[in-house]
A and B are shown apart, each in its own frame.
Chain A
Amino acid sequence: MLTKRIIACLDVRAGRVVKGIQFVDIVDAGDPAELAHRHARAGADEIVLLDITATHEGRGTLLDTVKRTAASLFVPFTVGGGIRSAEDAAAVFNAGADKVSINSSAIARPELIGEIGASFGAQAVIVAIDARRATNSADPVGEAEVYVSGGRKPTGLRVIEWAIEAEQRGAGEILLTSMDTDGMRNGFDCELTRRVSEAVQIPVIASGGAGSAAHFAEVFLSGKADAALAASIFHFGITDSRALKAEVAAAGVPMRLPC
Chain B
Amino acid sequence: MIAVIDYKAGNLTSVVKALRYLGADDILVTQAPADVLRASKIVLPGVGHFRATQLLEYLGLTKATRAAIANGTPFLGICVGLQWLYEGSTEAPETPGLGHFSGQCERFPATFEGNDLKSPHVGWNSLEDIRPNSRLLSGIAPGSFVYYTHSWRAPISADTAATTFYGGAFTAAVERDNVMGVQFHPEKSAETGLQVLKNFLAL
Contacts and interface: CB of A to CB of B under 8 A. Distances in A.
A5 B11 CA distance: 22
A45 interface: yes
A3 B189 CA distance: 13
Contact of A74 (B118, B120, B190): B190
B10 A172 contact: no
Contact of A75 (B9, B11, B119, B188): B188
A47 to B, nearest CB: 11
Given A93-B13, A203-B123, A124 B47 contact: yes
Contact of A2 (B13, B47, B49, B123): B123
Is the contact region of chain A dominated by helix, strand, or loop, or is it mixed? Answer: loop
A74 B122 contact: no
Contact of B123 (A3, A74, A119): A3
Interface string A120-146: 111110000000000000000000000
A151 interface: no
A7 to B, nearest CB: 10
Interface string B179-200: 0000000011111011000000
B11 A226 contact: no
For A4, A121, A203, the residue with the greatest tally of chain B CB atoms inside 10 Å of its CB is: A121
Contacts of A76: 147, 188
A123 B120 contact: yes
Contact of B118 (A3, A5, A70, A202): A202
Interface in B118-135: 118-126
Contacts of B14: 70, 96, 98
Interface of A: 1-5, 40, 45, 70-72, 74-76, 93-96, 98, 119-124, 172-173, 201-203, 226-227, 256, 259
Given A70-B14, A120-B47, 20 more contacts: A1-B125, A1-B165, A3-B124, A3-B145, A40-B190, A70-B13, A74-B188, A74-B189, A74-B191, A75-B147, A93-B13, A98-B11, A98-B14, A121-B9, A123-B120, A123-B149, A201-B119, A203-B120, A226-B123, A256-B145
